[in-house]
Amino acid sequence: MADDISVLIVDDSALMRNLIGRMIENTPGLVVADKAMNGKFALQKIPRVNPDVIVLDLEMPEMNGIEFLKERKKQGIWIPVVILSSIATRGAEITMEALALGASDFIQKPSGSISDDIHTVKDSLTSMLLGYGGQYRRKQSKKAAPVDYTGKPSAKIGGSSLAGTFQSQFVKSAEDIILPPHGTVKVRPPLRRPGKTDIIAIGISTGGPDALRLVFSKLDADLKVPIVVVQHMPPGFTLEFARSLDRICPLEVKEAEEGDAIRPGRVLIAQGNKHLEVEKQPQGAVVHLTEAPLVSGHRPSVDVLFASVAKWYGNHALGVIMTGMGRDGAEQIGEIYKEGGLTLGQDEVSAVVYGMPRVAFELGHVQEQVSLQNMARRICDLAKTPR
């Protein structure tokens, strides 16, 4: 159908092209635009089929995924790209290079280059394609929008800018607040007023790599509040992911290790397949990594992180829940709010998948919804405000 998100599949394996194509065709809202066996053919087909999103393998003959991304950038093609590739020896490093070259996100093929069990990642893949493809489609339809003083399109909804569409002021009482698009939200009064922000905890999933790159690149260099992050990501990737963020962030970013100090100006990223918790000790705050059972279907789990932050930091915490499928973090960010901490959620317009922040908002656990473009500024402003 004309309204379906069209997908260009780029993979050198005919079997993989067919299996991925079948998953797409069986997903309402998605349609296969075309298929290509390498990056060279993909570039030839793009002007003709005009896809909304591209699924890209990295290891292909003649023009591989990295070469395709370089050429895509050179030609000014901004169609979003989701990497679907197997882990090679340098898999994590190459994947992070792909993200740095403009790929939006990645999914690991479950069992090598030719994975006949590719159906196990269907939900993750199709959610990404709907999210990124839908975002691209909306941007294309707004190209003729009025231009603001910065020279950028100023998309409007109901007379207000996208950045402010779903924002609210912080709740100061238990009165109902009305925020579109999901009606009336019952807000519980916190146990105490917010204090000075001593830690920022961020939970994020599908759509996260692209979102975090944007947010971290915009953080203030003089932000003195430590940041701890759970990004759902396979083991083996978080080390390179942290290194890639460290290159663009004015603060120190590293993959968390057991006992790492939580200190001003440092960002710690949870390891893949390990929960991250915080603890205050006499000599200072540290992180702990555990292989305890999955929580909310994940390890690392955002709920585990938020629960420990609420316990040890109470009303001195800022919790942020961003794009992602499901509900991980939605429950326990409520504990941060209940203890008097501040809570932010990414808004629907800018989220690739409005799942985790939506559930948190509908539970009444999010005090303010913020666009991705404004998230870094809002985090810094709140963290620096004396209370």
- The whole-model pTM stands at 0.85
CA angle 153, 7, 73 (to 5 degrees): 55
pLDDT tens for 221-251 read 999 999 999 999 988 899 999 999 999 999 9
> Tokens 């305890």 — which residue?
292
pLDDT computed for residue 119 by the predictor: 83
Q: Are 228 and 202 in contact (CB under 8 A)?
A: yes
- DSSP alpha helix (H) spans, the chain: 14-25, 39-49, 65-74, 91-100, 122-141, 208-217, 238-248, 302-313, 333-338, 356-362, 372-384
Q: Residues 3-14: what's their mean pLDDT?
A: 96
pLDDT computed for residue 112 by the predictor: 61
pLDDT bin (cut points 50, 70, 90) of residue 111 is: low
Cα(93)–Cα(208) distance, integer angstroms:
17
pLDDT computed for residue 120 by the predictor: 84
Phi (first) and psi of residue 232, to 5 degrees: -65, 115
Which amino acids are annotated catalytic?
Answer: 205, 232, 328
- Percent pLDDT > 70 in the chain is 85
In order of their start, the domains of the chain are: 5-141 (3.40.50.2300), 156-384 (3.40.50.180)
Q: How far is CA 60 from CA 10, 64, 91, 160, in A?
A: 9, 5, 14, 45
Q: Residues 72-83: what's their mean pLDDT?
A: 96
Cα(159)–Cα(328) distance, integer angstroms:
33
pLDDT tens for 261-320 read 999 999 999 999 999 999 999 999 999 999 999 999 999 999 999 999 999 999 999 999
